Structure 1
Amino acid sequence: MSTIAEKLKAREQELTRAERQLAAAILDNYPIPGLGSITELAELAAVSTPTVARMVQKLGFSGYPEFQQALRAELSEIISNPGQKHAQTGSTLPETHMLTRFARAAFENLEATLDGVDPSEFDQLCAALSDSDRSVHIAGGRMSGTLAQNLFLHLQMIRPKVSMIPSQASWPHWVLDMAAGDLLVLFDIRRYENSTLLLAEMAHERGVEVVLFTDQWRSPVQKFASQTFAARIGVPSAWDSGLAILLLTEALIAKIQEDHWEQVQQRNDALETAFDRTRLFRKFT
């Protein structure tokens, strides 16, 4: 099932100006704005209550109560911990091998994620990451940090001025070196981390462009992001899957190196020379 956030993004071009204003208000601190009364949401978005009612019906709901019920169910999923997720999935899964069940869910995640990606936005991010005049900073959370690290290691081989921000308490030091026009790539999936949100806010205040990789419910970081890439993460496990996000970032890496292969090759030739001197890799001759 698509989340309400996904439905809003998919139908963005069909919405009226007032409805787009309403959608932005909902997404700004998703899903909290939609949990109040219809009047409160209308006031927050500075639109009329009939506008709220019409947009809710455009999204396929019979009325505002059904819309709210769906949002509450999503909120429950967003804040669920590993034990709760295991309890939710353990009793309803078919009696087949875990590898099969997990792979099926992963394939569905990939397909749903790709359906939600705008190719022009993807190309725009590739161009921004390729601009060596801009410094790129990358950070993730307790679990999503592995996805951030993977992007960092590859971009570091492709271009200069790329830094990996640690997730420990020392990350404010990195903010001091950020300048207007820099790019900050953040990874944040449920349960969203307060430190990642604060990092995005502080970087945004310095004129840094923030790009977010998140899940289908969308991290609060999106309010500071110029681009948000939402991926499906749910699998039959107590832990979420980063496979769809990994697909997006590895596709980014592939496009950047393909578009700028001559410069990438020169940088990697120099890197291989350094590797040879360090004897890092085993030789078979």
Structure 2
Amino acid sequence: MPSAPQRQSGDLETTVALLRDSRRRILLCGGRFTHLLAQYLGLHLMQMRDAVQILPDRDVERTAVLSGLNRRDVLVVFDYRRYEPDNLALAQLAAERGGKAVVFTDTWLSPVSAHADVVLPSRAASTSPYDSFVPTLAVIETVVAHVIAALGPAARDHLQQTEATARRAGLV
């Protein structure tokens, strides 16, 4: 098994480069609680660019999406303590198919890190029985701000188009 990559100063820049690349499909997933973080990032990205998908929960739908996983895909995984085996399997699948993987994880580093191109750790410890994801939200917000800046006017145009579509469809 490969060792986990060391955190590098270019992790934010690499993440932004992967997420802004319109030739790549973005797939996001998380765990019991962290799927909410995946949805949060995914919903922001959907407003900025095309080809963003949160992996479905149901096995048949998830399998259908994953069957097309290839070298142009970026898998974004949120995996924190009580690491989930399916997240590791997904990262291994992405690596086998030549795709890229970005993992948001805690400072203890998820096993997914061994298969990730980019590792974005954040402190999750808390005095409660549940870990705090406040630091992770700060990292997500930073990534979102940098992706918006990197996309420039294209992000604004895409957002305006999605807002117009939502209005036309009676959704807002």
TM-score by length of 1: 0.56
Residues 235 and 241 in structure 1, CA contact (< 8 A), matched pair in contact too: yes
Question: Hey, what does 1:224 align to over in structure 2?
Answer: 115
State the partner residue of 2:166.
275
d(CA) in 2 for partners of 1:273, 1:225: 36
Say which one has the larger Rg.
Answer: 1
Q: How many positions carry a matched residue from both structures?
A: 170
What is the rounded CA distance, in whole Å, between the counterparts of 2:140 and 2:169 in structure 1?
29
Greater length-normalized contact order (CA 8 Å, ≥ 6 residues apart): 2
In 2, the alpha carbon distance for the partners of 1:248 and 1:231 equals 8
Partner residue, 1:172: 63
Match 1:233 to one of 124, 148, 151:
124
Q: SS of the counterpart of 1:276?
A: helix
Measure the CA separation in 1 of the matches of 2:118 and 2:163. Answer: 34
Q: CA deviation at 1:117?
A: 6.6
- CA distances 1:128-151 after superposition (whole Å, capped 9, x unpaired): 110101111111111110000001
1:42-62 alpha-carbon deviations (Å, 9 max, x no partner): xxxxxxxxxxxxxxxxxxxxx
- Larger relative strand fraction: 2
In structure 2, how many angstroms separate the alpha carbons of the residues matched to 1:121 and 1:263? 23
2: CA distance, partners of 1:225 / 1:238: 28
1:168 deviation in Å?
Answer: 3.9
Contact 1:140 1:167 in 2 (8 A): no
Q: How much has 1:119 moved relative to structure 2?
A: 4.1
Residue 152 of structure 1, CA deviation:
0.5
**TM superposition shift of 1:118:** 4.4
CA distance in 1, matches of 2:118, 2:165: 36
Aligned-partner SS, 2:117: strand
2:27 aligns to what SS in structure 1?
strand
Identity of aligned residues (%): 31
State the match for 1:195 in structure 2.
86
Q: Are 1:245 and 2:136 matched, yes or no? A: yes
Q: Secondary structure at the residue paired with 1:142?
A: coil
- Tell me what 1:140 maps to: 30
Q: How does 1:204-219 map to 2 (within 5 A)?
A: 204-219=95-110
Query: What are the superposed Cα offsets for residues 58-98 of structure 1, whole Å, 9 maximum, x if unpaired?
Result: xxxxxxxxxxxxxxxxxxxxxxxxxxxxxxxxxxxxxxxxx
- Return the alpha-carbon distance in structure 2 between the equivalents of residues 267 and 182 of structure 1: 20
Q: What's the TM-score once normalised by structure 2's chain length? A: 0.91
Unaligned runs of 5+ residues in structure 2 are none
Give the aligned CA root-mean-square deviation in angstroms.
1.9
| 8 A Cα contact 2:7 2:119, kept in partner | no
Residue 259 of structure 1: CA displacement?
2.5
Task: For 1:191, give the aligned amino acid.
Answer: R
1:1-285 correspondence runs (5 A): 25=3, 27=4, 118-170=8-60, 171-281=62-172
> Offset at 1:178?
1.2
* Residue 168 to residue 143, structure 1, CA distance change in 2 (3 Å): farther
Distance 2:41 2:17 in 1: 15
C-alpha change, 1:135 and 1:243, in structure 2 (3 Å) is same
C-alpha contact 1:141 1:167 (8 A) present in aligned 2: no
